[in-house]
Structure 1
Amino acid sequence: MLLVNPSISGEPFWQKVESIAQAASKQLNVKLDVIYGDGSRYIQLEELQKYLEYRATPDFVVLMLYPGNAEQHLDLLEKYGIQYLTLEQTINGPEQVEIGKPGQRYKNWLGEIYFDNFRAGADLAQALTDSLREKRPKVKPQALAINGHYGSESDARNQGAQSFFGSQGVALQQSIYASWSKTQAMEKTQRLLKRYPNTNIIWSASDLMAMGALSAVKQRGEKDPAFVAIGGFDWLNDTLRLIEKGELQASVGGHFIMGGLAILSLYDKFHGHSYWQTNQSITYPLVVINQHNVHRYIWLAEKIDWTGVDFSGFSLLNNKQSNYLVSPTFLAKDNAPGVISD
């Protein structure tokens, strides 16, 4: 199999996706190659084309589609007759209409593995609002939102936040884009805090940007700064430690298990299971980590040997279930026997 990591080697979030995929492959005796897209849709397409031209054709490919050239990626894979899965739902609007759903225009597109970004965005907004109300019950919630880029993933998260804030009467003063960058998020938050000095909630579409916002709040220079509830997505190691210390309030995540889930489902298909003949997707909920439950997940902030996770236990070949009942809650300390940190 081939996993196309859309980022660079060692990038915190996608490294976890890759590491879990590697562990699942080792456990299931699957040979897995990995190539990198370097955070660029153009480079990813070039690297995929070079791999397919100069190496033996893999049985399956797992990749994330970048908005703007999804069609070129799918055309290339169809040309080589390779079956493939896509991670996350990153394509929307006219481009999504053009490529259709798995198995329609592109017959070798088996399906998608994704999660409900709208609900996750709302869950993060609720966690931050609840945290503010616990710490400062008499203040009026006033929020800022920091998005990644213009695309379905970030926009769906933001729409979920807007829906929750609107339902609770929370003032969402402004939404901005910071290109998933910690530095951009810090610099833009600094300017926004001058415009909206009473801000007490900063919702972010990623943990890196949340940490950038935290830096901006700390740099305001107040002797006794008012509490600001800040949170993001991804369960990054540093984020979990900051939640434990009370500097950040929440992180939504667990979606990095999608790498292992993709390998597992393709292993099942290779050995004859019909799931991808009758289904177009695998979905699962994300989980909020906050100060109330971080003690169950803080072990994830250490270097992890993912080979301790029993991926075979989720195989439909073994458990005879009709769906993949996988949730990130299985990574909670008391739910993950045998998972080793070192």
Structure 2
Amino acid sequence: MNFLPFLLLFCSLAWGQTSVVFFNPGKSDESFWHDVDSFAGAVAEDLALDFRTFHAQRKYYSMIRHLEQMIAQQQLPDYLILVNEKQILPKMLRLLEGQNVYVLVALNDIDVQHQSMLEQPYWQQHLLSSLIPNNYWAGYQAARAMHLASGELAGEVAIISGDKLTPASIQREAGAKHFFQQQPQLELKRVVYADWNEQQGYQQTLMLLRRYPNLKYLWVANDEMAFGSIQASKELGRQAGKDLFIATFNTSERALNLREQGQISALAGGHFATVGWGLAMIKQHSLGEVLAKKVDAPLFMLLEPHSATFQLIKDKNWQQLDFSNLSFDFAHPFGFIQ
């Protein structure tokens, strides 16, 4: 007989709330990571989890230092949620080997060259699952929606990607490239990187539009960089949504407003809910359920103005939702809204 479910349930009842710490690699005031935090906080409250977040403020090695401190002071929680931003995850997992903690990986998975370390008996037991949005799908679909929004015009394309290391960035960019390569009437002129930053997005767009004055499409890997792109295009006399079509990602208020106004022609998002759904999986595990080692689901949607989902995400009033009674559908993260 498997006594693990009963042991987990007994521990939960005996020692109070299940504790979870999320290592957030971003800045607390960045729109995407703020959305991640607020949604996860609402889920944790409904599920009665003791949930805390450590913000790395995009200083990735501060995650290593903070984890070392938690281990040294014996302050590890029951569960950790980790993100493989800038390929930092293997280093964190090495520190955790042999510790009494479960790990769930969210948003960016461990890369192929480090997969073998997960075959160790310790990680077979303690690495619960990976909940990774399908960035390839999202990159492809955003590119396709942008092209459709233009009336499928022929033209030149440029990509402003995030960085060359983060798996989400690599896969999102690959999806976009695949779509553009399938379209004989589209010519991909250049791929550049702006490190998810508005000012760098602005500078890269100035360079691209000056070098390619006939550029018709600009695929941008996040909203912060897209804001810089829209500003640069205005300064050079281009009209976003009219003679320059822009696709991007995330659900900041500013991005949603620009999508409603038509300056952003295609917007994909919803993956900010990933950590919140990860908390739901942790709750299930704490009650004795066995989790899939990897969840294969989009966790992205194309966001269309005037839809109920669009308005829900714009309002961000997550406390109105009852997550405790939700049947989670990772393929449609907001499918419970009609």
TM-score (structure 1 length as normaliser): 0.84
| Alignment-derived partner of residue 114 in structure 1 | 132
What does residue 230 of structure 1 align with? 246
- 1:124 CA drift (Å): 0.5
**Corresponding residue SS for 1:67:** helix
Instruction: Give the partner amino acid of 1:220.
Output: L
Deviations 1:126-147 (A, max 9, x none): 01101111xxx6x522211000
Partner of residue 5, structure 2: none
Structure having greater relative contact order (Cα 8 Å, sep ≥ 6): 2
Q: What one-letter code is carried by the residue in structure 2 that aligns with 1:59?
A: D
Cα separation, 1, equivalents of 2:242 and 2:28:
38
**Which of 307, 327, 330 is the aligned partner of 2:332?**
327
- RMSD across aligned C-alpha pairs, in angstroms? 2.5
Q: What residue number does 2:230 align with?
A: 214
Larger deviation: 253-262 or 31-40? 31-40
> 2 CA distance for matches of 1:92 and 1:312?
33
8 Å Cα contact 1:264/1:315 also seen in 2: no
Specify the code of the residue in structure 2 equivalent to 1:284.
A
In structure 2, relative to structure 1, the CA distance for the partners of 1:267 and 1:93 (3 Å cut) is closer
Report the secondary structure of 1:21's partner residue.
helix
8 A contact 2:22–2:53 mirrored in 1: yes
- Partner of residue 140 from structure 1, selected from 141, 151, 154: 154
Quote the offset at 1:255 in angstroms.
0.3
Mapped to 2, the partners of 1:223 and 1:325 lie a distance apart of: 37
Q: Quick one: structure 1 residues 312 and 160, their matched pair in 2 at CA, closer, same or farther if it must change by over 3 Å?
A: same
After superposition, the Cα gap between the structure-2 partners of 1:198 and 1:48, relative to the gap in structure 1 and judged at 3 Å, is same
SS in 2 for 1:330: coil
CA deviations over 1:87-116 (Å, ceiling 9, x no partner)? 12344353x345446978564111100121
Is the CA contact (8 Å cut-off) linking 1:142 and 1:201 kept in structure 2?
A: yes
CA–CA separation in structure 1 for the residues paired with 2:87 and 2:309: 39
Assess, with a 3 A threshold, how the Cα gap between structure 1 residues 113 and 68 changes in structure 2: closer, same or farther.
closer
State the distance in 2 between where 1:101 and 1:241 align. Answer: 46
1: CA distance, partners of 2:83 / 2:121:
17
Secondary structure at the aligned position of 1:8 is classed as: coil
What is residue 37 of structure 2 aligned with on the other side? Answer: 18
Size of the aligned set, in residue pairs, is 316
The amino acid across from 1:327 in the alignment is H
**Equivalent residue number for residue 319 of structure 1:** none
Contact 2:240 2:246 in 1 (8 A): no
Counterpart contact for 2:109–2:130, Cα < 8 Å: no
Runs of at least 5 residues in structure 2 that lack an aligned partner in the other structure: 1-19
Equivalent residues in 2 for 1:84-103, closer than 5 Å: 84-94=103-113, 96-100=114-118
Residue of 161, 166, 177 corresponding to 1:162: 177
Q: CA deviation at 1:202?
A: 0.4
Following the alignment from structure 2 to structure 1, what is the Cα–Cα distance between the partners of residues 319 and 230?
34
Q: Which amino acid counterpart does residue 322 of structure 2 have in structure 1?
A: D
Instruction: State the percentage of identical aligned residues.
Output: 25
- Over 3 Å counting, the alpha-carbon distance change for 1:161 and 1:55 in structure 2 is same
1:14/1:224 CA distance change after superposition, 3 Å: closer
CA–CA separation in structure 1 for the residues paired with 2:239 and 2:279: 51
Measure the CA separation in 1 of the matches of 2:295 and 2:241.
44
Equivalents in 2 of 1:82, 1:159: separation in Å? 34
Which of 146, 149, 153 lines up with 2:168 in the alignment? 153
**Cα separation, 1, equivalents of 2:178 and 2:146:** 14
Separation of aligned partners in 1, 2:68 and 2:193: 31
Q: Which residue of 2 aligns with 1:47?
A: 66
Equivalent AA in structure 2 for residue 205 of structure 1:
A
Give the residue type in structure 1 aligned to 2:100: G
Distance 1:76 1:104, change over 3 A: closer
Residue of structure 1 in register with 2:310 after alignment: 297
Quick one: structure 1 residues 163 and 30, their matched pair in 2 at CA, closer, same or farther if it must change by over 3 Å? same
CA shift, 1:31, in A, is 0.9
- The TM-score with structure 2 as length reference comes to 0.85
Partner Cα distance (2:75, 2:241) in 1: 59
Alpha carbons of 1:225 and 1:89: their partners in 2 closer, same or farther (altered >3 Å)?
closer
State the shift of 1:159 in Å. Answer: 1.1
288, 293, 296: which one pairs with 1:283?
296
Give the AA of the match of 2:82: L
